[in-house]
Amino acid sequence: MERINLRNTSFITSQELNWIKEVTRDLSILTVPMHFWALFYPKRAMNQARELVNMLEKVAGPIGIRMSPPAWVELKDDRIETYVRTIQSTLGVEGRIQMVVCIIMGTRDDLYRAIKKLCCVQTPVPSQVINVRTIGQPTRLQSVAQKILLQINCKLGGELWGVDIPLKQLMVIGVDVYHNPSRGMRSVVGFVSSINLTLTKWYSRVVFQMPHQEIVDSLKLCLVGSLKKFYEVNHCLPEKIVVYRDGVSDGQLKTIASYEIPQLQKCFEAFENYHPKMVVFVVQKKIITNVYRSSTEHFVTPSPGTVVDHTITSCEWVDFYLLAHHVRQGCGIPTHYVCVLNTAHLSPDHMQRLTFKLCHMYWNWPGTIRVPAPCKYAHKLAFLSGQILHHEPAIQLCENLFFL
């Protein structure tokens, strides 16, 4: 079991690997005061809007978030143009708005897309879109408000929880590629890296690739940017860089190892006398391997943290299977990690422990997830940019987890 660190307390995770109780009653590592925020809602959602704000103010104290009342903006209707024009005019008048919160009537993909395009690309500001049905049940409102507030804190640059990381001056990176078949051949590279020593501050970039353009061109651009940002925050460069690269098939492994990684390492030449150690994992989720544990009478799903690194592994690569998440029903499908570079000379045990620790660091879920947090963040970022925005997000948002 892993130790989870909050601002003033720490605790060992339970067997269920869920710590929602702890993170909603104790102070987050870093909270950002909400002094200037605006709430947009249609007239018929006025009651739900007031109940939501009352509940947000109630649950903010234990988490450690100081909240001022919002700028209340009532909309005459719920048309897309009404939301967009009103948000634009409010941001123009109130230049200090930190966060835009919108309540929408039901599931409206077109409206959601318009709000996100406005707030992520055209007029960069963190945003939260809430379906009125989500806040319409009084018995669930407190738990919903807690989750919304934690998410808002992340989007404002806050830090929720951390884990103990033995490796010093470490940077971890997640890379994922989103392909949208309905929009031609352009693919979207999502890149997310840690930029502080405790792995609780993140930097993100998105690159839209032209057809036949090599992904390594995009990765080099992102890596140099993240190293500069790391230096800006810590006044030093990372000694070790661990990359988790998603979306790679077995057939591409040799290309990654022999071509893409050497190209990436050339980025280090941009910094004088800089020769960091590097570890690169390919992360494979779409696998057919299931893992079971034999009990007295039948086979059951193994406990989270179970690793298999022999018998069914590759004879060509250093690899392992890790079941990181808690499976409530059905069989647990592990994630396959293939190490294609290890100049840091990390032992298999250290590789596996670091990977499992990072599966605890996804702030959208107070529990473990199937892949390391930077990998999941990169996936969320690439999906938002490719599916919703169809554009690179504004650079002003690159140090916030605005895409959660």
Query: Are the C-beta atoms of residues 338 and 317 closer than 8 Å to each other?
Result: yes
Residue 72 DSSP label: E
Task: Find the catalytic residue in 78, 246, 260, 319.
Answer: 246
Q: How far apart are CA 308 and CA 305, in angstroms?
A: 10
| DSSP secondary structure string for all residues of 325-346 | SPPSSSPBPPEEEEEEEETT--
Name residue 322's beta-bridge partners: 307, 335
Phi, psi of 198 (to 5 degrees): -100, 5
State the amino acid at position 343 in one-letter form.
T
Question: How would you class 235 by CB atoms within 10 Å of its CB: exposed for 0-12, middle for 13-18, buried for 19 or more?
Answer: exposed
Task: Find the catalytic residue in 325, 336, 360, 379.
Answer: 379
State the amino acid at position 360 in one-letter form.
H
Task: Find the catalytic residue in 214, 217, 316, 349.
Answer: 214
246 is catalytic: yes
Phi, psi of 304 (to 5 degrees): -60, 140
SS3 161: coil
Task: Find the catalytic residue in 2, 26, 78, 176.
Answer: 176
SS3 236: coil
CA dihedral over 395, 399, 400, 401, signed as positive or negative = positive
Query: Are the C-beta atoms of residues 283 and 371 closer than 8 Å to each other?
Result: yes
Reported in sequence order, the residue ranges of 26-81 that DSSP labels E, i.e. its strands, are 37-42, 71-75
Non-local CB neighbours of 384 within 8 Å, separated by 6+ positions:
116, 120, 393, 403
Residue 147 has, within 13 A of its CA and on its CB side, a CA count of: 15
* Residues carrying an active site annotation: 176, 214, 246, 379
